[in-house]
Copies of this chain bind each other. A is one copy, B any other.
Amino acid sequence: MGELMLHEDRLFPSEPSQRGIARRLYGEVRHLPIISPHGHTEARWFADDQPFPDPATLLVTPDHYIFRMLYSQGVPLEALGIADRGGGRGETDPRRIWRRFAGHWKCFRGTPCALWMTHTLYEVFQVRETPSAETADRVYDQIAECLTRPEFLPRALYERFGIEVLATTESPLDDLAHHRRLRASGWRGRVVSTFRPDPVVDPEFEGFAANVRRLGELTGEDTGAWRGYLRALEKRREYFRALGATATDHGHATAATADLAPGQCEALFGRVVAGGASPGDAESFRAQMLTEMARMSVEDGMVMQLHPGVFRNHNRALFEKFGRDMGADIPLATEYVRALKPLLDRFGNDPRLTLILFALDETAYARELAPLAGHYPALKLGPAWWFYDSPEGMRYYRWKTTETAGFYNTVGFNDDTRAFPSIPARHDAARRMDCAWLARLCAEHRLTEDEARETAVDLAYRLAKDAYKL
């Protein structure tokens, strides 16, 4: 298990006729520019263009896919240098963190982490040894050495990765200072923000009331009143758009939407902004705000993304010690058909709206999402998300959506990552899996190879660019 392998035919079907077609299709798309319309990298990296600090801080500590698995196998978060709420970090030596990761490499067998990390090590850092307790130090040193070189600075990597556009995600309260610096810098890379209003539209978000006040300060609107609050949001959307943003994103516990009368909205807003909203009010308010956001999208043209259906911060002890996003977010069964109806009743037939739906409940793909997207002009399906941003997750997604929604009610790939060096690995996996899927359709004579070739390019490049108006 010594030599690290990155096989040229990885992820392709092993049946030779399918593999042959997959190779040919992949040949058409492998070098297309990367459109990354949804993710969590930081504009600061590209604005500052400073070296990444060390292998563990770059590749292990920020990646909840990785530390989640290590934690499940008994590695405490403290031993991985995860900062707690007080700022304490436990282990501070990045080399020892890397060793812990490398010593547990076996746990990742069969997971997308193994795939992404292998690709990253092999292609980005030219590593040729499989991570293990034995190789940990050598691999660490090799990566660390790379990180000192100019061709591993953020902008150089962006260019080497062939990225055409990269979207980050920010709160309406963010001043987008890094984005402004980037724009002013003259660098030719295109890094745009995405408007993610959860902190000011979810009454259960930490600091909601203060966030809403801050929103008022930023915009000069009276966010203590419903109308002022909406105008403030419109102004911040405009601010984001002026800096290149084309999309909004909404991470909600459910897909619930509402379409309340204005008087009801005002009263509801009054209750939630006063603090201590009941769970029912909080849910109603989030639901109403999705419809308000759709209305604003109809007006200003921003593409809307909805990511519902997760129980966040499920592990109480970890949440109390370390805070949010500690790998303890667990999907829930998610209903879309009744939930989206109020919003769709208003805007589902409006050609000005694009609402991209994501899911962590794969049972909704064929039952609810493909039939909805295969009917409503305003709806499109986002790619397989989070736990399903994986070879089998992508295969399942195409399997369960294509027959009812087709390829052309989907929007290409999102890498959705903060692990910047893994972006090529993720897009490469998506391109391979889509080519593998198309190859199967061709090999079973359900699609001609000419058709598949055009569709492969659409899935790898054009659909994302068009859907996100990039």
Chain A contact residues, CB within 8 Å of chain B: 1, 5, 7, 9-15, 17-18, 68-69, 71-74, 106-112, 114-115, 311, 314-318, 327-333, 335, 337-338, 341, 344-345, 348-349, 351, 360-363, 366-368, 370-377, 379, 387-388, 390-393, 399-400, 402-409, 440-441, 443-448, 450-451, 454-455
**B403 contacts A111, C-beta separation under 8 Å:** yes
Contacts of A317 in B (CB 8 A): 345, 348-349
**B367 contacts A111, C-beta separation under 8 Å:** no
10 sampled A-B residue pairs with Cβ under 8 A:
A9-B444, A11-B445, A72-B375, A72-B377, A314-B344, A318-B349, A328-B376, A387-B403, A391-B403, A391-B446
Assembled-state Cα–Cα distance A344/B409 (Å)? 40
Distance of A57 from chain B, by nearest CB (Å): 22
Known: A315-B348, A404-B111. A446 touches B11 (CB 8 A): yes
**B445 contacts A9, C-beta separation under 8 Å:** yes
Known: A74-B351, A333-B367, A403-B111. A17 touches B14 (CB 8 A): yes
A315 in complex: contacting residue of B5, B375, B392, CB < 8 Å: B375
- Closest Cβ neighbor of A338 among chain B residues: B311
**A109 contacts B315, C-beta separation under 8 Å:** no
Contacts A12-B444, A107-B406, A109-B406 given; 19 further ones with Cβ under 8 A? Answer: A1-B450, A14-B443, A69-B374, A72-B377, A73-B409, A74-B377, A107-B408, A109-B408, A111-B406, A112-B403, A115-B446, A314-B337, A315-B344, A315-B375, A316-B345, A330-B371, A391-B403, A391-B446, A392-B402
Contacts of A392 in B (CB 8 A): 399-400, 402-403
**A403 contacts B330, C-beta separation under 8 Å:** no
The 3 A-B residue pairs whose C-beta atoms are closest, nearest first, are A7-B445, A14-B443, A10-B445
